[in-house]
Every structure is written in C-alpha cells, then in structure tokens.
Amino acid sequence: MRRAGRASGGGIPTGWMAKDAIAAADIRRQSVQTFFTSSSPPDENSEPEIQFRTLSFSLVGGLAQTQELVTSGNWPARDQAHRGTCNAFAFVAAAELIAWQETGVLPRYSEEQLYTVTRNQPLAGLASSQADVNAIKDAGTTFLQQVRDAVLSDQPALVLGNEGEYRTDGDLPVNHEEPTKPSPTVVDISHWSFKHDIYVAAVNSGDPVWRGDTPQDTTLQELFLSQLQQGNPVVASFPILPGRGRRAFTAGPARRLGITSFPDGVTFGADEPAPLGGHTVCLTGYVDDPQPSAPDFGWFIFRNSYGERLFGCDVEESPLATRGPMRGYGVISSTDLEAYCWEYLYRDLAA
C-alpha cells in the first residue's frame, strides 16, 4: 500500500529559512519586471529579441510538436511515490528526452540507480557540519549539484532500466537505496558538460545569491526559454514552503489541472522554520498566456514525477486554456519560476 503524502526530495541549503526564500522571491520578482516592460519592438534590421508573448511550443507534444511521443503511451509520466527521488526522476526525464531527440529511439533509464549514486556524492558548500550532512541523508533529499557530480563521476550513475524496477512499497523509508547495477549497462554521457547554479547564502554577507553559472544580465526565464528553444530540457528545483506554500504541487488545481502556483504576499518571522524541502521537475516547453493583460506573462510546461493519476489528472476534460498539456504534466507561471526556482541543471550545448 502506498504511503500517504509526498516526500520533499529537493535538498535545503544550510541556513535557509522560509523568510529568506520569500524575501529573495520578492526581490527577483521585482527585478524581472524590467525585462518585460522595457522591451520595444525590434528594428527590422536588428536581431530579433525573445518575445515571450508570441511563443507556444513543447519538446514532448501536447501542443503541435512531437505529439506522438507522449500520446502513444510510450513515455507516460512516472511516479516517485512517497520517496525523495524527484531530482533523479527529473534528470532521467531530461536525459531520455535528449536521447530520443538525437537518435529517434526512446531509452528507459533507471531512477533507482541515479538516486543511489547521487546520494553518495559530497555536499560541498551545501552543508556546514556533519549534523547537516546526516540530516540531509536521513531525509532522503539530494541536490542537483550532486546529480551533476554523479553523472560526471566514474561511478555507474546513468544506466539502462526496466519498467517496474523502481520500488514504491509503502513501508520503504524515504531515503531507501537499491544496490547499484553492474557497469555493462552504463549509459556513456562522459562527453556532456553542464550548466548548474544554486541560490545559496553568500560567504561574506549571508544574503542569498546565485553561486555559479547564472549570468548577471539575464533572467531565469530568458535563460531557460533560450535552452528550450534549442531543444534542450531544463531541470529546475523549487522550495516547498510552510503554510499556504506547502501544497504548490499538490493542491486541487495542481492535482486536477497541473497548475502550480506559489502564494503572493507570504511573510515569515525570524523564528519561522526552514522550507519544508524542495521539489524538482523537468521543464519541457512554454505556452503563451491566453490573456494579454495577465500578470504572469506565460507558463513553462514541465514533466512531473507524480504519475498521471495524481497530477493533472483532469486536463484532458478541462476547457481551460491555462492547464497542463497532458496528464502528469503541469505549468508554472514565468513569474513564479523567476521568483522561486532555487537550483537548476541543463546540458551545456556550447561545450
């Protein structure tokens, strides 16, 4: 029997408090307004700029492109169940999609194996004490930084898998690990390079900053959309906040229509707890907002890891324009993505 509830599989950087996540989101939400409001129609002789309001596309179907991949039933959204394995599920989705685009053959990779190898990667810069390390391991959570290190290591992180091998037994602990598979089934992606960043407290000021590959003169929306336009899926993590933010991925609109949203105007005091955890998804497309005056500008499409029965289960019967494109998939507004994404990973196509 499946255990009730969902594990928060994304790790929490040491020192992060809920109020820090909200304060950072407010700053980032305000900064992105410049990107949307200052653009003017491009000169006919100049290079066209990204125009968010005229784009609607998907890497996996549900709109107009490669519809058969999902609707054929060959690539249904999988279910992580109660375990903290969302990072592994999201990266495996991205890797399978890239392989399908490059070869025309859809592989089946193992989330179990990637999760096991990922959990044994160091937590450099993410935990300040052994107690923090132990707490992260006990909770079963991981970071995309560890996923990157796992697939670039000499350990068998990305391997071919089979349907039914992922354990969903209700009595399994959230941090359950399966033994690794033998090396002959390893998928060689040693030629890949990655872009990765995480929003963590700066060493000197303590204020959250992007630590790595995020350019200072761009927004996450601009960065992610440029990758998706090149056929490159993006793996993105979001916090699970206390109070009204707890059910961003599990509330009624998410469960029925795949609509994920974070509450506005949430504030926390200095004594409030840290975020409850995080959740990671694979971004696969973008859809224009159907209302020209709407404040959210547009919606990023993502493949979730809650299966088709518990996420976006009613999208095929819904007349609403804003919804997940198919069962198991969802949408998150471009402003929520800009404000709340706290870690990301994608293949570096320029390398």
Convert the pLDDT of each residue in 78-105 to its tens digit. 999 988 899 999 999 999 989 888 888 8
Overall fold of domain 18-347:
Cathepsin B; Chain A (3.90.70)
State the average pLDDT for the chain.
77
pLDDT at 307 (0 to 100): 93
Which of 261 and 89 is assigned the larger pLDDT? Answer: 89
Sign of the Cα pseudo-torsion (337, 230, 115, 329, in order): positive
**3-class state of residue 259 by DSSP:** strand
What are the tens digits of pLDDT across the range 267-295? 444 455 567 788 999 998 888 776 655 55
Residue with token string 């408090």: 17
Question: pLDDT-derived band of residue 116, with 50, 70 and 90 as boundaries?
Answer: very high
pLDDT at 90 (0 to 100): 97
pLDDT at 46 (0 to 100): 34
pLDDT at 71 (0 to 100): 56
pLDDT at 319 over 60: yes
Q: Is residue 9 a contact partner of residue 280, using CB atoms and an 8 Å limit?
A: yes
pLDDT at 300 over 70: yes
What are the tens digits of pLDDT across the range 334-346? 888 988 888 999 9
Q: Which of 23-32, 50-59, 127-136, 322-331 has the lowest mean pLDDT?
A: 50-59
Q: Which amino acid is at 62?
A: G
pLDDT at 13 (0 to 100): 56
pLDDT at 62 (0 to 100): 42
What are the tens digits of pLDDT across the range 29-60? 454 443 333 333 333 333 333 333 334 555 65
Question: pLDDT-derived band of residue 174, with 50, 70 and 90 as boundaries?
Answer: confident
Contacts of 131 (CB under 8 A, 6+ apart): none
pLDDT at 135 over 60: yes
Copy the structure tokens of residue 201. Answer: 């407290």
Residue 184, classified by CB atoms within 10 Å of its CB into exposed (0-12), middle (13-18) or buried (19+), is exposed
